[in-house]
Amino acid sequence: MSSADGVYAEEERAKVKEAAKILGVADDIVLTLESLVDMERTVVKMRKALIHVNTL
Q: What are the extents of the domains in the chain? A: 26-56
Which tops the pLDDT comparison, 56 or 30? 30
Mean pLDDT of all residues in 24-45: 94
pTM of the model: 0.74
At position 41, the amino acid (one-letter code) is: R
Cβ-Cβ contacts under 8 Å for 49 (sequence gap 6 or more)? 56
Q: Grade residue 20 by pLDDT with cuts at 50, 70 and 90.
A: very high
**Rounded Cα–Cα distance for residues 17 and 2 (Å):** 11
Does residue 56 surpass a pLDDT of 60?
no
Q: What is the CA radius of gyration of the chain?
A: 14
Q: Which element (helix H / strand E) includes 56?
A: none
Model pLDDT, residue 36: 95
